[in-house]
Every structure is written in structure tokens, then in C-alpha cells.
């Protein structure tokens, strides 16, 4: 565990360094003359690197505590469900379940089906959401920076990937907490009536 607490933040630092290097590459190429395939590869790498920074740190530290508890409270679950439907987040969720999260071992990391597992589920949704919020904000800022330097294609591609890779997971995690609150209230009513 101690090795993990040292090694994973070092990976995050390396990814931060590589992200800065990628921005320098963008500043060194002409937005007009750069081939689309090069811009696409650089943008994918930038999204992966920046998202990875927050993911690796979140694997070993409770990064969700960097945001106030009020951020995690769901203020308008009805609107959240509508946004979930409008954006087609259910298709994104299905894709996740068909790939990485479809494995029972990976799902059990989030929720093992027990009452005690509810607290871990809440923690995991907050950790995941914080990582994606931080990455979404950072990539949006870097994309605007690139737009300022005339990299219109890079901006559009980076934001499209950012929305799919970070904004959709934010909506998904918040929707998980709607279900979590419903389960917690049901359990609380059962305990109170016993």
C-alpha cells in the first residue's frame, strides 16, 4: 500500500509533465497545416493524460474531499434524470457494462450488494465524479487555450472527447447517487419500523 501511495502519484506527475509537453507540441505546429490525423492523436493523448492525472491520484487519496459536501448533494434529481435521458447516458452506461465494468470483480469494487457496501458505493461515486470533474475542467481550460492560439480543430475534438470521457461519467455518477439515496432511505425506513 505504501508503494502504491508513492508510485501512483508519481505516474500522475509524469502525466502532468507529458500534458505540458503536448501543449508545447500544439504551440509548435501550425493549426492550418497540421494534418487531421496528427491533431486527433494529440488530442486523444491530451485527454488521456489529463484524465489520468486525476485518476491515479484518486486511486490512493480521498480526492473527493477537495470539493465541499454541498457539491455532492443532489439539488434537482428530476432535472438530472432528464439530462441523463436527453444525452443518452444510458447508452454510455451500457457500453461501460459491455466492456470493463461488465466483469463482476470490477463491479464489486463499487458495490458488493451488502448494506455495508452502500457507504463504499457512495465513496466510490464521489471519487469517480471528482476525478472526472477535475479532468473536465482542466481539459476545457486547455482546449480554450488551444482555441486562443487558432487550433479550432483541436478545440472541437478535445471538447467532444472530453464530453464523452468526463462529462458523461459525471452525470452517471450523480445518477448513481439518486439510486443510492433511494436505497438508503428505504433501509432507514425499514430500521425505523422494526
Q: Give the tens place of pLDDT for each residue, 123-150.
A: 999 999 999 999 999 999 999 999 999 9
Alpha helices in 59-88 (DSSP H): 69-72, 77-87
Least confident of 10-24, 50-64, 176-190: 176-190
The Cα–Cα gap between 143 and 190 comes to 49
Average confidence (pLDDT) over 178-190? 78
d(CA 42, CA 158): 9
Average pLDDT over all residues of the chain = 90
CA distance between the termini of the chain: 41
pLDDT of residue 107: 67
pLDDT tens for residues 11-24?
A: 999 999 999 999 99
pTM for this prediction: 0.89
Mean pLDDT of 85-109: 81
User: According to the model, what pLDDT value does residue 127 have?
Assistant: 95
Looking at residues 103-124, what average pLDDT do you find?
76
Length of the chain measured in residues: 194
Contact between 92 and 168 (Cβ < 8 Å): yes
Under 8 Å between Cβ of 11 and 55: no
Nearest residue to 27 via CA among 7, 42, 9: 42
Q: Is 61 helix (H, G, I), strand (E, B) or coil?
A: coil
Amino acid at each position: 500500500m505504501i508503494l502504491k501511495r508513492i508510485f501512483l502519484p508519481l505516474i500522475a506527475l509524469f502525466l502532468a509533465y507529458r500534458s505540458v509537453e503536448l501543449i508545447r507540441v500544439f504551440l509548435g505546429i501550425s493549426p492550418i497545416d497540421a494534418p487531421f490525423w496528427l491533431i486527433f492523436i494529440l488530442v486523444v493523448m491530451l485527454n488521456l493524460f489529463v484524465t489520468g492525472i486525476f485518476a491515479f491520484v484518486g486511486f490512493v487519496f480521498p480526492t473527493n474531499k477537495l470539493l465541499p459536501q454541498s457539491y455532492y448533494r443532489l439539488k434537482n434529481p428530476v432535472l438530472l434524470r432528464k439530462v441523463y435521458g436527453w444525452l443518452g447516458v444510458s447508452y454510455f452506461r451500457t457500453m461501460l457494462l459491455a466492456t470493463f465494468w461488465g466483469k463482476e470483480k470490477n463491479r464489486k469494487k463499487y458495490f458488493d450488494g451488502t448494506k455495508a457496501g452502500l457507504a463504499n458505493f457512495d465513496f466510490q461515486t464521489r471519487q469517480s465524479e471528482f476525478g472526472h470533474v477535475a479532468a473536465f475542467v482542466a481539459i476545457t481550460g486547455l482546449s480554450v487555450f488551444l482555441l486562443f492560439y487558432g487550433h479550432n480543430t483541436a478545440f472541437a475534438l478535445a471538447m467532444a472527447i472530453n464530453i464523452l470521457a468526463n462529462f458523461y461519467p459525471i452525470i452517471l455518477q450523480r445518477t448513481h447517487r439518486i439510486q443510492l439515496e433511494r436505497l438508503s432511505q428505504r433501509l432507514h425506513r425499514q430500521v425505523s419500523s422494526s
